Amino acid sequence: MKLDIFESIQILRRLSHYNVIVSASEKTAIPLAMLLSLTKRSIPHVVISHHLSSKNKNLLFRLWPLYKSFSEIICVSKAQAEFAVEELKIPPSKVHFIYDKVDHQFFRPMDEEPEDYILAVGQEQRDYKTLQKALAGTRIKLIIVASSHWSTYRLPIIGEKNTKIVKNIPYHELRSLYAKARLVVIPLNNVYYAAGANSILEAMAMGKLVIVTKTPGIKEYVVDGETGLFVNSLDPESLRGKILEVWDDKDTLTRIGSNARQAVEKQMNLPNYVEKISRIVEKVVQENK
């Protein structure tokens, strides 16, 4: 569990300048809550939570239930929202699920002729072994973009001649890879938080058909057969079947990709995300006047 204690100390020093604090993750929220408790100070605190159910946080919360000081908790996964209510016993009125976001003005459909490769993006909790097993013997090229400024997850990838691994590329290059991909696959470990959300939403915003491992943490992001395709975890045969089924099916690639883009435009985009968080923050400010 990585905590940003230095940033929390800086916030504490300037506490009188704020009416409310919004923490973008537990990395800042937890040490700030610790400092507020130790110094016997308080301020309305809205927390955007990503993984409340992690083992380390669970242990900490049992010893020191810091989450009780959070004014409102925003979860980007329904599984995490349910955990907050059912396991941590946080009142449902204080827990909110909202979809994660993507900049759908930047990640947008582009006039590019699809090339013969699958794109897989991300590092956190990815299961690239299953994807590579699914592609074994197909001669389909796989490009994996696996780098993260935040994740410490160690990524096992099998060396294959049809697999190209790319790291630390600019966003405009990533967008170009999405645009030229025949389809996108996001293979995930079976986790209870929204690992993969950013990559899934980027692919959807680009109007690409995305095949995703159905996990408890991500299941609400895709409507199977409409805005994407789900496969079960650790099932290379099923994944292989899905890929081959749509590989040459231009109508399905176009239909599902278009539906995915519409879903992003409707609700899973940056302006909607900001608006929903702003409403929650305004509510907290009004309640604490």
**What's the pLDDT score for residue 4?**
83
pLDDT digits (tens, 9 = 90+) for 2-14: 778 889 999 999 9
pLDDT digits (tens, 9 = 90+) for 81-94: 999 999 999 999 99
What's the whole-model pTM score? 0.93
What contacts 35, CB < 8 A, 6 or more positions away?
8, 9, 12
At 115, the amino acid letter reads E
Question: Does domain 117-266 sit in CATH 3.40.50.2000?
Answer: yes
Distance in angstroms between the alpha carbons of the first and the last residue of the chain: 34
**Paired tokens of 71:** 């004014």
pLDDT digits (tens, 9 = 90+) for 94-120: 999 999 999 999 999 999 999 999 999
Contact between 181 and 208 (Cβ < 8 Å):
yes
**Paired tokens of 191:** 């986790």
pLDDT digits (tens, 9 = 90+) for 201-247: 999 999 999 999 999 999 999 999 999 999 999 999 999 999 999 99
Q: From CA 27, how far away is CA 179, in angstroms rounded? A: 33
Domain boundaries, the chain: 5-99+270-287, 117-266
5-99+270-287: CATH architecture: 3-Layer(aba) Sandwich (3.40)
**What's the pLDDT score for residue 2?**
73
Confidence of residue 151 (pLDDT cuts 50, 70, 90): very low
Confidence of residue 280 (pLDDT cuts 50, 70, 90): very high
pLDDT digits (tens, 9 = 90+) for 32-69: 999 999 999 999 999 999 999 999 998 899 899 999 99
Confidence of residue 252 (pLDDT cuts 50, 70, 90): very high
Give the residue-averaged pLDDT of 5-25: 93
**Paired tokens of 126:** 């990815």
Confidence of residue 159 (pLDDT cuts 50, 70, 90): low
- Averaged pLDDT of the chain: 94
Q: From CA 211, how far away is CA 34, in angstroms rounded? A: 41
Range with lowest mean pLDDT among 143-152, 221-230, 247-256: 143-152
**Three-class secondary structure assignment of the chain:** CCCCHHHHHHHHHCHHHCCCEEECCHHHHHHHHHHHHHCCCCCCEEEEECCCCCHHHHHHHHHCCHHHHCCEEEECCHHHHHHHHHCCCCCHHHEEECCCCCCCCCCCCCCCCCCCEEEEECCCCECHHHHHHHHCCCCCEEEEECCCCCCCCCCCCCCCCCEEEECCCCHHHHHHHHHHCCEEEECECCCCCCCCHHHHHHHHHCCCCEEEECCCCCHHHCCECCCEEEECCCCHHHHHHHHHHHHCCHHHHHHHHHHHHHHHHHCCCHHHHHHHHHHHHHHHHHHCC
